[in-house]
């Protein structure tokens, strides 16, 4: 079982729609959760962090965490073509190790 | 501009060459990392330096040799690499709050990467 799992996509959504990106993790001792955005040919950029159960909103982005289900998601409202990128989920586990998923490629269609 | 600078951005080398990748961070962070990114694979942690001390070596072959002379600079020395080592090598930094001997934050700031091709 992969430590951090993401659907590789591509996930295609029309401009203005809500994009929903999902991530599951295997380490129940995980403490911190992050979403990184990586444009093609560029390096990952941190866009959201979440540490406790529930929702965290930042502009058009909402991170959702459910530790009981070992599930973290990222919602992007009013998706724009500039949101087209690969989104990486990262989890800090019980041994303080950062583990990344393979990423979900998002395509926002104008 | 993330405050983490990597050079060179692109490198082509033969299997018998020796080369080095350089990373410099201007963020005042105390932890620096080397990651390897290959197609369709998750980011792989290679090395962690915390307060200039190597705190993790993630079973990386000895043909990769890190060096961290101070908390702002990190090098990755490459020697007798294999074609399967071709990948994007990313340097990152973070501010470790010191509560853990290893790593206590996933808030990483990445450089633009060095694209390595081994012929």
Q: How confident is the model at residue B101 (pLDDT cuts 50, 70, 90)?
A: very low
Contact yes or no for A44 and B110 at CB 8 A: yes
Contact yes or no for B106 and A49 at CB 8 A: yes
Q: Per-residue pLDDT tens for A70-79?
A: 999 999 999 9
Question: B84 φ, ψ to 5°?
Answer: -70, -5
Q: How confident is the model at residue B99 (pLDDT cuts 50, 70, 90)?
A: low
- Rg of chain B's alpha carbons, rounded to an integer? 14
Mean of pLDDT over chain B: 88
Q: How confident is the model at residue B97 (pLDDT cuts 50, 70, 90)?
A: low
Q: Strand pairing partners for B87?
A: B116
Closest CA to B81 of B34, B119, B36: B119
Q: How confident is the model at residue A1 (pLDDT cuts 50, 70, 90)?
A: low
- Nearest-Cα residue of chain B relative to residue A41: B112
Is the Cβ of A53 closer than 8 Å to some Cβ of chain B? no
Q: How confident is the model at residue A44 (pLDDT cuts 50, 70, 90)?
A: very high
């Amino acid at each position: 079982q992969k430590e951090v799992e993401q659907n590789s996509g591509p996930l295609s959504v029309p401009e203005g729609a809500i994009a929903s990106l999902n991530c599951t993790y295997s380490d129940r001792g995980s403490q911190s959760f992050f979403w990184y955005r990586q444009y093609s040919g560029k390096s990952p950029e941190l866009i959201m962090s979440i540490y406790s159960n529930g929702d965290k909103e930042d502009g058009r982005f909402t991170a959702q965490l459910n530790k009981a289900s070992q599930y973290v998601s990222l919602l992007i409202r009013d998706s724009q073509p500039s949101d087209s990128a690969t989104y990486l989920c990262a989890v800090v586990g019980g041994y303080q190790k950062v583990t990344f998923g393979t990423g979900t490629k998002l395509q926002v269609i104008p | 501009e993330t405050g983490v600078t990597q050079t060179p951005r692109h490198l082509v080398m033969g299997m018998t060459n020796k080369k080095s990748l350089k990373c410099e961070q201007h963020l005042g962070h105390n932890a620096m990392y080397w990651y390897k990114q290959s197609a369709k694979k998750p980011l792989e942690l290679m090395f962690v330096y915390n307060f200039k001390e190597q705190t993790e070596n993630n079973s990386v072959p000895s043909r990769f040799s890190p060096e961290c002379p101070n908390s702002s600079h990190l090098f990755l020395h490459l020697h007798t690499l294999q074609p399967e080592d071709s990948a994007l090598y990313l340097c990152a930094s973070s501010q470790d709050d010191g509560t853990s001997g290893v790593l206590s934050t996933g808030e990483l700031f990445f450089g633009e990467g060095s694209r390595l091709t081994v012929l």
